[in-house]
Amino acid sequence: MKLRFAGTGDSAQVPCFGCDCLACQRARLLSCHRREPCCGEIELDGELILIDAGRMDLAARCERQRPAAILLTHYHADHVQGLLHLRWGRGESIPVYGPKDPQGCADLHRNPGILDFQPGLKPFRTLQLGRLEVTPLPLNHSKPTLGYAIEDGVNRLAWLCDTVGLPGATERFLSEWRPHGVVVDATHPDSYHSPNPESDDSPHPESHTTPRNHNNVAMALEIIERIQPSRAWLTHISHELDADFMATSRILPEGVELASDNLQILF
Amino acid sequence: MKLRFAGTGDSAQVPCFGCDCLACQRARLLSCHRREPCCGEIELDGELILIDAGRMDLAARCERQRPAAILLTHYHADHVQGLLHLRWGRGESIPVYGPKDPQGCADLHRNPGILDFQPGLKPFRTLQLGRLEVTPLPLNHSKPTLGYAIEDGVNRLAWLCDTVGLPGATERFLSEWRPHGVVVDATHPDSYHSPNPESDDSPHPESHTTPRNHNNVAMALEIIERIQPSRAWLTHISHELDADFMATSRILPEGVELASDNLQILF
Ligand SMILES: [Mn+2]
Ligand SMILES: [Mn+2]
Ligand SMILES: [Mn+2]
Ligand SMILES: [Mn+2]
Ligand SMILES: [Zn+2]
Ligand SMILES: [Zn+2]
């Protein structure tokens, strides 16, 4: 299978509107450093499967090649906002798989148009998409969220985003399943701390908080260390993390890299 | 004031994803025939005011010039979806005015980021934005929706979208206010009839239905006829209407034209 990183940014994208940090300045100058909302494309046997749908040019992408299916990790806007437009298209319906989330996003479920929303996926219940076997994996996030274990009969890829850490059952599944490649949420630099309005008066308001909805780099690397894939990519990257890498020239462990938009991997 | 039609399409846009009608084919070949989601830009004294925010490249537009305010007509996705990304930007907050609609769209109201959502506007209660006087006008649509009567001290512009017909009070206001220019919803060709699932078995299932949420051209022209502006523009145009105009070479009354993306008017 072929994996393409169609977007590797967080909900603010890179450049972040109105931000003048070094990472945002660089992305305005050099488009190769831009990061669209986190999403992926899997190709096998000439068929296209999309993972998430937060890119604003989703309809244009789908006109070049109509996807056989869309896998959603969750219904936060940065992962589904492209569907708000795509749904009003014409032609055969497009099956959309994702977690059970009655709320969905905006009126997508009430007005699906050409999108054929399938019943919410059951964790660990494998789905067959063409020759791909896709197993939904529960993640830790602020909305019902699924990662995906994707296998083409030879190679195994785990897509783990958005998440902070991993639920025990997902980690046990992955330790046994032994993916060749892992794509994992690494939104924040390690220096990031969650805003905590209750401790505003404290002299060190952020000193005891850790990220609540997304991994920082250290947490992402711990996950990779425990699963031991041959290769791993950090994604859902914030402009703060890009700026941190620019400032510190941090070196990642062997086999681990920051994903970038348009990066393609042939498994 | 200067008015720019930043988008003149309906929620499907033109080209509509997956559609091969003549209008969609033409828009793929000639970008001047594309239609983005319906929205406008008003410039006065070097300040930019946006009407609606459904364009997917809203953040890029706002980086070129940061708007002083955003006026929303309503919270359907095709009028607000650009805010889902813009909100996560940096810098001074952007005031956003619109109708009272507790639901809003997706989690915009719960997670506004840099958007400063103002209390819901009261119909006919004039708002001062710089030198502009802006009066909200109730419209007929499937969500709470406001048109805007906009005056710069010399010229008067009415923005009436999305709507089917006009509420009596709005029509009385406009007849007295006498705008120079009117921009009005004309989504459908006159041949369009609302889907009516209850009459699926009838041999002429659509014969007695009229549009429910948007004007067709005849209804838009009636509104213009009653208000008598010097100039009027039809907007929120569907690919079906474009195709209808291509097929029939219909001629519009003097002073009335189909708006097109990027059209600029100096009042
Ligand atoms: Mn999320
Ligand atoms: Mn996200
Ligand atoms: Mn609407
Ligand atoms: Mn609309
Ligand atoms: Zn930045
Ligand atoms: Zn069409």
Instruction: Using alpha carbons, list the distances in angstroms from residue A6 to A38, A229, B136, B254.
Output: 7, 22, 41, 48
* Residue A89 with chain B: CB contacts under 8 Å: 12, 16-19
CATH number of A2-266: 3.60.15.10
Over range B98-120, report the average pLDDT. Answer: 97
- Closest chain B C-alpha to A130 CA, distance in angstroms: 22
- Closest chain B C-alpha to A129 CA, distance in angstroms: 22
Decide if B135 contacts B114 (C-beta within 8 A): no
How sure is the predictor about A193, in pLDDT bands with cuts at 50, 70 and 90? confident
pLDDT value for A208: 44
pLDDT value for A264: 98
**Nearest by CB: A17 against B78, B86, B106:** B86
Statement: residue A220 has pLDDT above 90 = yes
β-partners of residue A42 are A3, A49
Statement: residue A102 has pLDDT above 70 = yes
**Nearest by CB: A12 against B89, B91, B107:** B89
Q: Which residues of B touch A (CB under 8 A)?
A: 11-13, 15-20, 37, 56-57, 59, 62-63, 66, 77-78, 81, 84-86, 88-91, 105-107, 114
Query: How far, in Å, from the CA of B92 to the mean position of ligand 2?
Result: 24
* Residue A15 with chain B: CB contacts under 8 Å: 63
Percent of chain A with pLDDT over 70: 94
Over range A185-210, report the average pLDDT. Answer: 65
pLDDT value for B196: 52
How sure is the predictor about A24, in pLDDT bands with cuts at 50, 70 and 90? very high
* Residue B89 with chain A: CB contacts under 8 Å: 12, 16-19
pLDDT digit string, tens, across residues B13-47: 999 999 999 999 999 999 999 999 999 999 999 99
pLDDT value for B195: 65
Please answer yes or no on whether B17 and A63 come within 8 Å at the CB atom. Answer: yes
Q: Which ligand is nearest to the CA of A85?
A: 4
Over range A164-169, report the average pLDDT. Answer: 98
pLDDT digit string, tens, across residues B130-163: 999 999 999 999 999 999 999 999 999 999 999 9
pTM of the full predicted structure?
0.94
- Closest chain A C-alpha to B229 CA, distance in angstroms: 33
pLDDT value for A76: 98
Average pLDDT, chain B: 94
Statement: residue B201 has pLDDT above 60 = no
Domain coordinates of chain B in residue numbers? Answer: 2-266
Statement: residue A202 has pLDDT above 70 = no
How sure is the predictor about B244, in pLDDT bands with cuts at 50, 70 and 90? very high
pLDDT digit string, tens, across residues A36-54: 999 999 999 999 999 999 9
How sure is the predictor about A192, in pLDDT bands with cuts at 50, 70 and 90? confident
pLDDT value for A7: 98
User: Which one of B10, B11, B13, B17 would you mutate to disrupt binding with A, by most A Cβ within 10 Å of its Cβ?
Assistant: B17
